[in-house]
Structure 1
Amino acid sequence: MKNLILALIVFSLLKCTSPQLVEPKIEVINSPTSSLLQAISIVDESTVWISGHDGSFVRSQNKGESWELFKHPTGDSLQFRDIYALDENKVILMSAGPGPLSRIFSFEAPDLWEENFVMLDSLGFLDCIDFWDDRRGIAYGDAIDSFPYILLTNDGGDSWSRADTTKMPNAGLGEGGFAASGTCVTTAENGKAWIATGAGGNCRFLVTTDYGQSWKEIGSPLVTGDAAGNTSVSFTGEIGVVTGGDLMKPQEYTKNVAFSQDGGSSWSLANQPKTIGAFYGSAITRVDAQTFAFACGPNGLDYTQDFGQTWSTLDTLNYWAIDMKADFGYASGTDGKILRISLHP
């Protein structure tokens, strides 16, 4: 009897001290637009910006309870496929498209616009942007002149210049990024950044540790093809996730998710997710001792808590982008869809 009582006491103590496991919860948000929303930038728990097509983007300052809709003054031709929030009032917006449709703007609410970059090369196409801090940032686009197309800024996005091509690998034929979720490039502390490339039979990472001054390449295990490869890369500390697939095979399973646990030096394929087809966006975050990785695409939104060994589906609708900040985040997609995701116990 004494042994039984002692065992019950130990079990109770372990139960009390073990971290409470959490599962993602989703809330459908009332959106102010029906435009495709395909890039997300979270400022803090209250404020988030989401950009999209038809020259439009939205902001919430109360955890998604209500939203403001903004539009570029020249019309609906711009597709804002990436956005980076400098603070609750100022953002950097990247529009994507051939040649001069690829532009970078700064916008300060309610209506102050500055155009800071226009693609002059007719073969150019910007895919994504990110920032290390409020001054230093990076933009990536499809290869030009046999080199990766990488832009850098040191003044908060007011001006941009191409990175030194002599300090980077040559580009593969037809290599570029997928301007789908604003996450084909991600930055980290101490000048680190990863660019996830694809298309034209290419699939690799371009990696810098000195704020884009020099670059090396690391292979990716995802599927290759004319419209295949990496689409999105995300990190939390040394743990990374890359998503992708073959956009020409929307109803097939392919090698479309991999994980790194050594800062991106090596990557291992995940098991097959629940959702079929390519993934456009990814996010990864840690809550206490749990790691959550998310992958979204036209056929749904999946997540894993064990580095891709097993998967669960959060939703089966069409999502292009996802962003997580600690224990909360958002996903967005076609028809102005917005989800708020919570990881609270």
Structure 2
Amino acid sequence: MKFLKLISISLVIVSCSKKEVKPQIVNIESPTKSLLQAISIVDENTTWISGHDATFVRTQDGGDTWELFNHPTGDSLQFRDVHGFNKNKAVLMCAGSGPLSRIFTFTAPDKWEENFVMQDSLGFLDCIGFWDDQRGIAYGDAIDSYPYILLTSDGGKSWIRADSTNMPKAGKGEGGFAASGTCVTTGDNGKAWIATGAGGNCRFLTTEDYGQSWKEVDSPLVTGDAAGNTSVSFVGDSGVVTGGDLLKPNEYTNNCAFSTDGGSTWELASQPQTVGAFYGSAITKTDNEIFAFICGPSGIDYTVDKGQNWIKLDSANYWAISMKGKVGYASGTDGKILRIKIQ
């Protein structure tokens, strides 16, 4: 009995002394003052971040130092999404009406290939994603009564619009928010989720066959002319979607929800600490604990219990956030780069 008591006491001591695991942040010196609004983490060393003024940056040393790149034609391009394949190659997506929406392949130090130019004057690309080094997807605002989805099978060199006969029709004014590069996210075995909004629409388009066929799933987030889903992220079957009403920057709305079944159903989260709409999201699993992050013009919040409780991480203006394992970054106005480590 005395021996058992000693074991119990030891377990209590170990339990009480266990260190709390939480995100730690460091503001990184940035080489630009341009708005940075999409992040692609390749590995623990290499990350690409793209932004306005034809600008994007890259680190190869885990975020300690960053290199600045610009498209040679000038500063009119807005690189609102980026996907890094490795330390030397990335695909960059420009957003804008008609031919301003483009997709490029960049190979360091200065090789450019223009892979796609929007021909429809009503077109507007919002985000891109890749399943692997060959298969990828791009999403844009609806055209001709159907969602605008592009697919590539050659690493982004060529893009073809997905067959509309295998997808639900688009709502009036439906599209994505080209704010954080995360209105589309890809998963294992051909899965992908597109978060839509605007024009009173708010839903998910989902695929399980690399974009060959699509179905719709309702979202519980707020709707409106400039409201709905802005960002969706998954780790396994655990997902987070965020958004809100961009016309109500100082109000609380139904702006975040979680899924535990791969996106088949969603439940609203409790109200985050930060007010207003959120532009970006990230979710990661580490040490058997799931951390979810959401960011917007008024700051970053995170949760470890699927949105039952929220903790304020930072109060600056951030448009994008991305996590890979225990490490991630947030970026935003004035070239801000924030490094995040869960430890």
TM class by smaller structure = over 0.9
1:316-331 correspondence runs (5 A) = 316-331=315-330
Pairing 1:209–2:208 present:
yes
- Once residues 37 and 296 of structure 1 are traced to their aligned partners in structure 2, the CA distance between those partners, rounded to angstroms, is 13
How far apart, in 1, do the equivalents of 2:7 and 2:68 lie?
A: 61
3-state SS in 2 of match to 1:283:
strand
TM-fit CA distance, 1:5? 3.1
State yes or no: 1:158 paired with 2:157.
yes
Write the distance in 1 (CA, Å) between the matches of 2:7 and 2:99: 73
Q: Which residue of 2 aligns with 1:254?
A: 253
SS at match of 1:194: strand
**Paired letter, 1:119:** M
- Residue in 1 aligned with 2:282? 283
What is residue 220 of structure 1 aligned with on the other side? 219
Shift of 1:289: 1.7
Superimposed CA distance per residue, residues 134-182 of structure 1 (whole angstroms, 9 cap, x where no aligned partner): 0000000000000000000000000000000000000000000000000
The corresponding residue for 2:109 is: 110
Measure the CA separation in 2 of the matches of 1:170 and 1:192: 20
* Aligned equivalent of 2:184: 185
C-alpha RMSD of matched pairs (Å): 1.2
- What is the deviation of 1:118? 0.2
User: Deviations for 1:5-29, whole angstroms, at most 9, x for unmatched residues?
Assistant: 343134346668x7x5311000000
1:9 is aligned to 2:13: no
Matches of 1:12 and 1:318 in 2, distance apart?
42
**How far 1:63 sits from its partner (Å)?**
1.1
The TM-score with structure 1 as length reference comes to: 0.97
Deviations 1:204-254 (A, max 9, x none): 000000000000000000000000000000000000000000000000000
In 2, the alpha carbon distance for the partners of 1:237 and 1:338 equals: 27
Structure 2 match to 1:311:
310
Q: CA, structure 1 residues 6+91, in 2 after alignment: closer, same or farther (shift >3 Å)? A: closer
What's 1:168 paired with?
167
Cα separation, 2, equivalents of 1:62 and 1:47:
7
Which structure 2 residues correspond to residues 45-84 of structure 1 after superposition, within 5 A?
45-84=44-83
- TM alignment of 1:136-151, pairs within 5 A: 136-151=135-150
Q: Does 1:230 align with 2:229?
A: yes
Partner of 1:123: 122
Secondary structure of 1:11 counterpart:
helix
Name the amino acid aligned to 1:305. Answer: V
1:290 offset after TM fit, Å?
A: 1.1
Give the residue type in structure 1 aligned to 2:223.
Answer: T
> Sequence identity, in percent?
71
Code of the residue aligned with 1:255 in structure 2: it is N
Q: Which runs of 5+ in 2 are unaligned?
A: none
Once the two structures are superposed, the pairs formed by residues 333-344 of structure 1 within 5 Å of their partners are 333-344=332-343
User: In the comparison of the two structures, how many residue pairs are matched?
Assistant: 342
